[in-house]
Chain A
Amino acid sequence: MTQPATAAQQEAPTSAAESAGTQESSRRLGLRWDVRSLSLLGVLAVLVAVGGITAPDEFLATSNLQLVLTQASVIGVVTVGMTFVITSGGIDLSVGAIVALASVWATTVATQEFGFAGILFTAVIVGVGCGLVNGLLIAYGRMVPFIATLAMLASARGLALQITDGSTQIVSVESVLDLGARDAYILGIPPLVLIFAAVTVIGWLLLNRTTFGRRTVAVGGNAEAARLAGIDVRRQRLYLYLLSGLCCGIAAFMLIVLAGSGQNTNGNLYELDAIAAAIIGGTLLSGGRGTVIGSVLGVLIFTTITNIFALNNLETAVQQIAKGAIIVAAVLVQRRSLHGDA
């Protein structure tokens, strides 16, 4: 009987929490979002100009665009999942380890006997399984996400090492390998890039156009308010880590296609790359605001930087210094344009 009244009462905190999704501020926020993305696009444009000037023949080729997008696709899928987790105020430090575990589990001799489907199924299920454990520990075990996923990082890497025994597991299933070959390109687009695009579109829709997305933002903005508004915060958190695990599973499969093998060192430091890309993209580390498009732009910026450095034959040390500087610059530029707007 009191149900409708309670719901009405809680309307206010919910909308406060769901700031990104409410109508009253949508226009202003839409503008802000545009500025943020535009500044990222600006950074990307500057990079493209630098690449075009320093290595015109190599950088501006179609094959290079295919290369950059392919190299971005694996970490890109992981970053989309990470964006949801961070938006909800959480963190997932285990993504790299889950990619490693899923990729080695899916490339054991026993799994390879099941062919393409076996590899794909195993990679995805292992990813989802790890996500489930993370989610249960965090949502129902009341563990801090940082600790729970740190534990997963350690144990998933350990298990990956246990399975491989340190060796490189080479994939001999032709149908999997063919997916990475030039012949498999659809209208010039590599299949891995298509998967990345699909994950991005689904991720964007999920975050911006569904109740699930609004709940994610609400939990990240103010979990207590979200709970009072009738959102099952714990279940929502469980789903989010499941989602991140699923993304890791898909990424693991893509990595198997790309590298033609599974190795326990796969996905090294993915957690840092994914978090950095999401933050540069404009997702708040404290939660409550997230943008899939921004994250994807963040990933593309990183990949383009690496590409330009490699094409100009710069040393690793220089690459790392410049990468750090560009992260700082991108965030500063973003801050500045945001302040100018607000």
Chain B
Amino acid sequence: MARIPSTSRRALLFGTAAVSTGALLTACTSNEPKNKAQAADNAAPVADDKPGKQVTIGFAGPQADHGWLNAINDNAKSRAEEYSDVTLEITEGANDTAAQIGQIETLINKKVDVLVVLPADGKALTQVGLKAMRAGIPVVNLDRIFNSPQAYRCWIGGDNYGMGLNAGTYIGEQLKDKKNAKVVELAGLDNLELTQQRTKGFDDALKNYPNIKKVARQAADFTVESGQAKMAQLLQAQSKFDALWNHDDDQGVGALRAIDQAGRDDFLMVGGAGAKSAMDAIKAGNSVLKATVLYPPTMAASAIDLARALGQGKGVGGLAEFEIPTSLTLYSAVVTKDNVDQYLPTGFI
């Protein structure tokens, strides 16, 4: 008899505890308060800011599962909002090739004026790019390039080789007066062609400096966790070196953590991609991180500009041609303490 109420009281107690824990935890999912990455809109103003013909732009990209892709989406959206004559039809991001093809076909059927496509896999999406072009919808291919030039009207993207080249040149200039200088490379995911291109650019740049030798290279996989693990191993393997190039600022968070944990500060570090955390560290100047080489997510904003120009049948400002170019490779600027303020608003989190 006496048991029943006691059990229910206990149940009540546990229930309340569970509910309040749940409530507390739910409150903890919020990430809002801190100033969220302001999508960069500080790039040079476009020649024709005045409203023109109405253009509907369809935008399809991969699932934004890391900071850079997130910044791509934000840049595209905020750029489109700036123009009163642009309507943006943005799809839910998809990493699956079949899903992305379906989304793009939907946009084609909706008869958007221009398509901006960042493929999950460039080669695999070539056919749907061709289909859009044949349906009379010009395609702006963003970053990951299609297999055939017929599948896009204009390609705009980053320069992976240039990233490596500029990182190598920056390090080379810093170390050019040092005899037998040693350099270490923390690469990104080795399965990707872009990682090979970055490494090739880096190696080519170092060839110009015979006093510098690359003594070690390990590949992480763009995650903080892998950056920490691989960097810890590299630090153990190389008791002394002068410079480090890390391909990606996301994994760089982990790499910096490992450097911190090992108590090392006897070298200079150059990052890649241009995350806000990296730029903050460069600005503060209190860590080994002295520079980062950009792979600018602002390219999505430029892609919207290009798509709008295409839709309105105009060229871009500053060039003599009547049409926009077929291909635009963006420069991988080196961000250092001297120019960090200029780039800080483009940093992604």
**Interface residues of A, Cβ cutoff 8 Å to B:** 55, 57-58, 61, 63-64, 67, 70-71, 105-106, 108-111, 114, 118, 122, 125-126, 129, 161, 163-170, 180-182, 255, 258-261, 263-268, 306-307, 310-313, 315-317
Contacts and interface: CB of A to CB of B under 8 A. Distances in A.
Nearest to B187: A316
A166 B88 CA distance: 22
B237 A168 contact: no
Nearest to B184: A313
Contacts of B78: none
Contacts, number: 149
Contacts of A166: 64-67, 69-70
Contacts of B239: 57-58
Nearest to B29: A163
B28 to A, nearest CB: 4
B1 interface: no
B229 interface: yes
A167 B37 contact: yes
Contacts of A161: 63, 65
A169 B229 CA distance: 18
Contact of B70 (A114, A163, A167, A180): A167
A63 B263 CA distance: 12
B253 interface: yes
A102 to B, nearest CB: 11
B233 interface: yes
B257 A180 contact: yes
A310 B221 contact: no
Interface in B36-51: 37
Given A71-B233, A122-B28, A265-B222, 19 more contacts: A63-B236, A70-B232, A108-B31, A109-B31, A109-B34, A161-B65, A163-B29, A166-B66, A166-B69, A166-B70, A168-B67, A168-B224, A168-B253, A255-B225, A258-B257, A259-B254, A260-B224, A313-B218, A316-B219
A58 B216 contact: no
Q: Which 8 A-B pairs have the closest CB atoms?
A: A310-B233, A166-B70, A111-B28, A265-B223, A260-B257, A316-B190, A167-B349, A311-B237
A164 B69 CA distance: 13
Contacts of B230: 310
B30 A266 contact: no
B64 A165 contact: yes
Nearest to A100: B225
Contacts of B32: 109
Contacts of B2: none
A313 B37 contact: no
Most B CB within 10 A of own CB, among A105, A163, A167, A258 = A167
B27 interface: yes
Nearest to A99: B225
Contacts of B257: 180, 258-261
Interface of B: 21, 25, 27-34, 37, 63-67, 69-70, 190, 215-219, 221-230, 232-234, 236-237, 239, 250, 253-254, 256-257, 260-263, 275, 277, 348-349
Given A109-B30, A164-B31, A166-B69, A182 B263 contact: yes
Contacts of B262: 63, 182
Contacts of B234: 310
Given A161-B65, A166-B64, A265-B65, A259 B225 contact: yes
Contacts of A110: 27-31, 33
Nearest to B220: A316
A70 B277 CA distance: 25
Most B CB within 10 A of own CB, among A125, A163, A168, A263 = A168
Nearest to B233: A310
Contacts of A167: 31, 37, 66-67, 70, 348-349
A261 B253 contact: yes
12 contacts: A58-B236, A118-B28, A166-B65, A166-B69, A167-B70, A170-B253, A180-B261, A265-B222, A265-B223, A265-B224, A310-B218, A311-B233
Contacts of B219: 315-316
B233 A105 contact: no
Most A CB within 10 A of own CB, among B28, B256, B262 = B28
Contacts of B348: 167
Most B CB within 10 A of own CB, among A57, A64, A114, A313 = A313
B25 A268 contact: no
A228 to B, nearest CB: 28
B223 A266 contact: yes
A306 B220 CA distance: 12
Nearest to B231: A310
Nearest to A112: B28
Nearest to B68: A166
B221 A268 contact: yes
Given A58-B237, A161-B65, A167-B37, A259 B28 contact: no
B64 A258 contact: no
A280 to B, nearest CB: 20
Contacts of B217: 313
B33 to A, nearest CB: 5
Contacts of A67: 232-233, 236
A258 B228 CA distance: 8
Contacts of B233: 67, 71, 306-307, 310-311
B82 to A, nearest CB: 22
Contacts of B30: 108-110
A306 B260 CA distance: 21
Nearest to B33: A109
A61 B263 CA distance: 16
Contact of A266 (B63, B218, B224, B349): B224
Contacts of B67: 166-168
B246 to A, nearest CB: 14
A114 B67 CA distance: 25
A169 B31 contact: yes
A310 B219 CA distance: 10
A317 B187 CA distance: 13
Contacts of B261: 180-182
A169 B33 CA distance: 13
Contacts of B275: 168
